[in-house]
Amino acid sequence: MLQGPVTHPFRDPKVRVRPFTDFQQLSALLTQELTRKRYDIVIHAAAVCDYQVKKAYRTKISSGRSCLRLDLVPTPKLINRIKKIDPNVFLVGFKLQTHSTKASLIKKAQQLIAQADCDLVLANKLMDQKYCGYLLDKQTGLSRPAGSRSKIAQQLINLLKKKI
């Protein structure tokens, strides 16, 4: 399991947890894991960052500057690499949107299925402190309401049990 900075770390002696703190570490760990070992299922829920600094300073930046400009560039989408490394893995992706209509959310999830070759996508949104989710299946093309977080977790477990 690859785990970024979290408030409640996953702890189970039966599961090897490999921590990461930034995009570069996650990228390296993901590539290592997928090339070293065969996985049946990959659940890619990490969204490290969408942008990174174009040019990082290697030394301390002097406080005497009157202005400092940081140029940001998009980071590569790690989820798009997974099926390229292992085309046989069952890939579950996540698409989170805020203040989005159901139609817009489903469309974004369908785009993720097409771009990353995901087998299943959990499209979810937060709006006015309310959570809403939909599961989209590449094979059937169906989207179904996923309900609460606990219901989503149970639905995912049930679907993934059938895949193993």
Q: Say if 24 falls within a structural domain.
A: no
Q: Say if 111 falls within a structural domain.
A: yes
Total number of domains constituting the chain: 1
Q: Mind listing the pLDDT tens digit for each residue in 35-47? A: 999 999 999 987 7
Q: Say if 7 falls within a structural domain.
A: no
* CA neighbor of 93 nearest in space, from 41, 38, 145: 41
Range of the domain at 103: 41-54+69-163
CATH code at position 151: 3.40.50.10300
pLDDT band at residue 83 under the 50/70/90 scheme? very high
Q: Say if 84 falls within a structural domain.
A: yes
Q: Say if 26 falls within a structural domain.
A: no
Q: How far apart are CA 51 and CA 100, in angstroms?
A: 21
Task: Determine the pLDDT at residue 140.
Answer: 78
Q: Say if 98 falls within a structural domain.
A: yes
Q: Say if 30 falls within a structural domain.
A: no
Q: Say if 2 falls within a structural domain.
A: no
Strands 2-3 and 18-19: parallel
Q: What is the pTM of this model?
A: 0.85
